[in-house]
């Protein structure tokens, strides 16, 4: 994608056509208690070729049940969880990098969905992440779009999505290192629920990584301090190549953040304390999880341990497992799903802030 190509303005109105078959006429009543977390997650699974989308409920004993099974449009190659911190559910951002089309879909605890926004962006965004940019707000504050070839990063404010006004561009003048194909926020944060400690830029082909941070760990969403502050890199080092999954996890019950690295080509998994970018005090823990997995981080029983869903798209084999302190896996359940799912995205519709 050419760096001169601009991000097109979002088209978002209350009358957007539905992306899914079941729409919402307005905020639906959700059957749950505000301010209470029941330690379950849902996962949104999606097949880009057929458009089939299934929402699966995960319980604390790692059992599953299907909440919805429907058809979305085909071709979405990004399905990103958004959190708007209210009692009306959670949302997913869908993006088609070939056409540039995007949509934001609201999810309720009973499986119903509705379209919050849709429109047209530039084509070819390689990485899309949601971050808590401001520790004093509830819910996801920003969406970051990355073009790996040019290094272009665009930051979008999501706060207006929930009343139908769409995204607002915060900045479009940031250059990540060219070749960056993994962009992560919150890596190494000791307050991963509300604040972003910095951004991690990683080139999985060559192994180079860069990190950035601010001193007060607070990134206001008004555009005055945005991702430009994070572009002052504090490291420029090299890891092994091939880490496709780099995620914040917790494996020892200490509430302290750790970072999971997984290479699906080799099966190698490494867990490092804190951010894993040179500030950890412990030796990395390493295990072999086996190759070929898609990895999705979930929380199904408490906030002090992290579970993962491991899914093999070729065989359909699916594990729900807890990460042990030595980086090995304790398998909680095993099942066979349909083959070919392209996206497995964790959301939680049951949690709402008082």
Q: What is the pLDDT of residues 158-212, one digit of tens each?
A: 888 877 788 988 888 777 788 888 887 755 444 333 333 467 778 899 888 776 6
Give me 347's structure tokens.
């959301």
106-154 residue pLDDT tens: 998 888 999 989 999 999 999 998 876 554 455 556 888 999 999 888 8
User: What dotted CATH number matches 41-347?
Assistant: 2.120.10.30
The more confidently predicted of residues 343 and 272 is 343
Q: Give the pTM.
A: 0.81
Nearest to 91 by CA among 301, 306, 345: 345
Using a pLDDT cut of 70, give the percent of the chain over it: 66
CA dihedral 217, 182, 139, 63 (to 10 degrees): -130
- Average per-residue pLDDT in the chain? 74
Residue with more model confidence, 45 or 277: 45
Within a 10 A sphere around the Cβ of 260, how many other Cβ atoms? 23
Least confident of 13-22, 293-302, 324-333: 13-22
> Smallest Cα–Cα separation from 273: which of 261, 262, 284?
284
Q: Is 233 helix (H, G, I), strand (E, B) or coil?
A: strand
Question: pLDDT value at position 181?
Answer: 87
Residue of higher predicted confidence among 47 and 222: 47
Mean pLDDT of 23-49: 54
Spatial CA neighbour of 327 closest among 281, 266, 270, 277: 270
pLDDT tens figures, 298-312: 888 765 678 999 999
> Rounded distance, CA 279 to CA 187, Å?
12
User: Distance between the two ends of the chain, CA-based, in angstroms?
Assistant: 43
Q: Distance (Å, rounded) from C-alpha 37 to C-alpha 96? A: 33
Q: Which residues are CB-contacts of 286 (< 8 A; sequence separation ≥ 6)?
A: 268, 269, 270, 271, 327
Q: Is the pLDDT of residue 339 over 90?
A: yes
Q: Which two tokens stand for residue 317?
A: 């084999």
As given in the structure block, the two tokens for residue 273 are: 């304390």
Average pLDDT of the residues in 205-224: 53
pLDDT of residue 254: 58
The per-residue pLDDT for 172 is 83
Residue 299: CB atoms within 10 Å:
21
Classify strands 41-46 and 343-347 as parallel, antiparallel or unpaired: antiparallel
Ramachandran class of 89: left when φ > 0, alpha when ψ lies in -120 to 50, beta otherwise: left
Q: What pLDDT does residue 212 have?
A: 63
Distances 54 to 9, 30, 67, 149, 168 between C-alpha atoms, Å: 30, 19, 8, 33, 30
pLDDT of residue 132: 66
DSSP 18-45: PSSSS--SSPPPP-S-TT---S-EEEEE
Q: Among the listed ranges 85-89, 128-132, 223-227, 270-274, which one has the minimum average pLDDT value? A: 223-227
Q: What number is the average pLDDT over the span 27-43?
A: 45
Residues linked to residue 260 through DSSP beta bridges, in sequence order = 247, 271
Average of pLDDT values for 314-339?
95
Confidence at residue 8, expressed as pLDDT on a 0 to 100 scale: 38
Residue 322 CA, distance from chain mean position: 19
| pLDDT of 349 | 80
Quick check: 42 pLDDT over 80?
A: yes
**Residue 323 above 50 pLDDT?**
yes
């Amino acid at each position: 994608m050419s760096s001169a190509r601009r991000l097109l303005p979002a088209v978002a109105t209350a009358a957007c056509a539905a992306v899914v078959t079941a729409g919402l006429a307005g905020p639906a009543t959700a059957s749950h208690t505000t301010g209470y977390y029941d330690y379950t997650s849902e996962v949104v699974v999606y097949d880009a070729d057929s458009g089939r989308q299934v929402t699966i409920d995960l319980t604390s004993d790692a059992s599953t049940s299907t909440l919805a099974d429907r058809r979305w449009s085909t071709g979405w190659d990004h399905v990103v969880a958004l959190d708007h911190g209210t009692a009306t559910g959670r949302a997913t951002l869908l993006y088609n990098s070939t056409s540039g089309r995007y949509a934001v879909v609201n999810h309720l605890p009973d499986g119903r969905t509705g379209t919050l926004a849709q429109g047209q962006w530039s084509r070819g965004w390689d990485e899309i992440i949601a971050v808590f940019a401001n520790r004093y707000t509830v819910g996801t504050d920003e969406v970051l779009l990355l073009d790996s070839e040019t290094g272009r990063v665009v930051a979008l404010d999501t706060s207006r999505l929930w009343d139908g006004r769409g995204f607002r561009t915060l900045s479009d003048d940031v250059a990540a290192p060219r070749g960056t194909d993994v962009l992560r926020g919150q890596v190494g944060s000791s307050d991963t629920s509300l604040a972003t400690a910095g951004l991690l830029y990683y080139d999985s082909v060559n192994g180079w990584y860069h990190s950035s941070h601010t001193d007060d760990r607070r990134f206001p969403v008004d555009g005055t301090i945005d991702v430009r502050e994070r572009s002052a890199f504090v490291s420029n080092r090299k890891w092994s190549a091939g880490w496709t999954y780099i995620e914040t996890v917790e494996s020892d019950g200490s509430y302290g953040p750790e970072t999971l690295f997984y290479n699906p080509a080799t099966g190698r998994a490494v867990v490092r304390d804190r951010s894993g970018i040179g500030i950890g005090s412990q030796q990395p823990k390493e295990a072999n999880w086996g190759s070929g997995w898609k990895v999705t981080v979930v929380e199904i029983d408490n906030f002090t341990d992290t579970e993962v869903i491991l899914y093999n798209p070729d065989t359909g084999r699916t594990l729900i497992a807890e990460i042990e302190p030595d980086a090995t896996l304790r398998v909680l359940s095993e099942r066979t799903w349909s083959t070919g799912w392209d996206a497995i995205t964790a959301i939680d519709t049951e949690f709402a802030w008082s």
